[in-house]
Amino acid sequence: MLKKYIAEIVSRKIEGLDNRIIKAFEKVPREKFVFSGISIDSIYSDQAIPTFYGKDFLSTSSQPSLMALFYKKANLKEGIGF
């Protein structure tokens, strides 16, 4: 349900987004990539979230709509690897 919700937010914010990217937001369990203790509502909101706290640094996952914009601007095509 929440994965579907964030996919809907992303598709509304980023016009002309490829349907495969929207489907990816519906499939990928964002909670598997975040620091424990973050609420599920925060995980599936359109905001950056911490993924790891180190002694002198913090790692984050970008807000989903920003990630979708990156994917759109990268003009990803099926079969292209990184």
Query: Rounded to an integer, what distance in angstroms lies between the CA atom of residue 62 and that of residue 64?
Result: 6
Say if residue 21 is exposed, middle or buried (CB neighbours under 10 Å; 0-12, 13-18, 19+). Answer: middle
Indicate if 39 belongs to the active site.
no
Summarised one tens digit per residue, pLDDT across range 34-70 is: 877 889 999 999 999 988 888 888 888 899 999 999 9
pLDDT for 82 equals 55
**pLDDT, tens digit, for every residue of 20-38?**
889 999 999 998 888 778 8
- Domain residue ranges of the chain, discontinuous segments joined by +: 2-73
What is the per-residue pLDDT across 6-24, written as a single tens digit (0 to 9) for each? 899 999 999 999 998 899 9
What stretch of H or E contains 6? helix 2-13
The one catalytic residue in 39, 45, 62, 65 is 62
Positive or negative, the CA dihedral 75, 17, 70, 33 is negative
Full-model pTM: 0.80
